[in-house]
Chains A and B, each alone.
Chain A
Amino acid sequence: MEELSESSPALAFEKEAFELTVEDVYDISYVIGRDLLKISTTGEEVSDLQFKIVRVLEMFETLVNKYNLSLEELKMERDNLKSELDRIVRESSAGQEAQTLGPNKLVVDLKDPNRPRFTMQELKEVLQERNQLKAQLLVAQEELQLYKSGMLPQGEQAMVEVDLVSPSPSKPVPDTTDETKEEPNEGMTTIRKLFSFRRK
């Protein structure tokens, strides 16, 4: 009991096996040696046991020492590998475009909300639709204007057209002036229908 309250050497017995240092082994040896002294007066057998205990403690010392050294080495090795890994990751992300990708490739950050997502074809279609709707709006506005100003005589329908036949490079248009007037597109007929319906 009193040994424990003396703080230092006896506390080594409380420790976890893998936390022991060589100093702890010395503390343990000190405590065991001191206890052995108390009973050593009895004779041969005790001193023989004492010798064996010293031998075991020496082996223990070696093992603890070796274990701690290995642990230290492994920790250092781990830290080295960790920093090496960090370096490689950093380098590869910096030089990725040049190394792993061809000269005409683009790296896209998938977390970027503004990353490119749509194809040229999709954009083309959206723009065509936008322009078509815009043209139809212009046509409707113009017809409405004519209608309001009373320029549309009864029974006669104004024909306001905007040619927005989507251009296709593969199919050359021979005469662009004519084609528009001859084939009005769907939207305009709808608008015209609407107007003639209201007139009745």
Chain B
Amino acid sequence: MAKKTYDLLFKLLLIGDSGVGKTCVLFRFSDDAFNTTFISTIGIDFKIKTVELQGKKIKLQIWDTAGQERFHTITTSYYRGAMGIMLVYDITNAKSFENISKWLRNIDEHANEDVERMLLGNKCDMEDKRVVPKAKGEQIAREHGIRFFETSAKANISIEKAFLTLAEDILRKTPVKEPNSENVDISGGSGVTGWKSKCCS
């Protein structure tokens, strides 16, 4: 068999209301850059980033969806293939927080049952405009048994940590396929701290 440049391929998906910063979160992670001009995503886009976790090269194929309702039928058809889904809201936008339950229902309806979910409260650099307290984000995440981070794509807060944590969570439940692989220990404590993570403090 031919040699691969990576050991595993993880497919992730970003969902959430329009304008919460999904594309910016992804752009920060993939290109370590930030752009203030708002360009609404048309339908669906993706980026690739290869990370190394526990001695394994993991290629992350991250799908970025349009938050606008009019693209709903296109975006939901991409849920099925996702192994991890990041649900993003905007801490300065109450509506985007209220819609979390709607997005979670979408996941239930369209995604695989064992998909790893994660909640992100983005734009946490804008403390003066905050309308969603961090505790409310933590609470709803706890209720649904999912991890939570407050992030800022602009200030580069917890972005990489969120993606790596999600990838680690997927890696943890990925059965080891290659017995000759040098490192089999996946359960090793890699310091995954979901709910305890700090942002902007």
Contacts and interface: CB of A to CB of B under 8 A. Distances in A.
User: Which 5 pairs from chain A and chain B are nearest by CB?
Assistant: A159-B2, A127-B43, A169-B77, A167-B81, A160-B5
B74 A176 contact: no
A169 B76 contact: yes
A100 interface: no
A127 B42 contact: yes
Contact of B80 (A127, A163, A173): A173
Interface centre among A135, A142, A177 (most CB of B within 10 A): A177
Interface stretch (B20-28, B44-52, B118-126, B155-163): B44-52
Contacts of A127: 42-44, 74
**Which residue, of B10, B74, B110, has the highest number of chain A Cβ atoms within 10 A?**
B74
Interface in B1-25: 2-6, 8-11
B8 A177 contact: yes
A158 B3 contact: yes
A126 B133 CA distance: 40
Contact of B44 (A131, A161, A180): A131
B94 to A, nearest CB: 27
B2 A156 contact: yes
A110 B162 CA distance: 47
Contact of A156 (B3, B42, B80, B112): B3
24 contacts: A120-B73, A123-B42, A127-B42, A127-B43, A135-B48, A156-B3, A158-B5, A159-B3, A160-B4, A160-B5, A160-B6, A161-B4, A161-B9, A162-B9, A163-B9, A167-B81, A169-B110, A172-B112, A173-B80, A173-B81, A177-B8, A177-B9, A180-B9, A181-B4
Contacts of B112: 172
A176 to B, nearest CB: 5
Given A169-B80, A177-B83, 19 more contacts: A120-B73, A124-B74, A127-B42, A127-B74, A131-B46, A134-B46, A135-B46, A138-B48, A156-B2, A160-B4, A160-B6, A162-B9, A167-B77, A167-B80, A167-B81, A172-B112, A176-B11, A181-B4, A181-B9
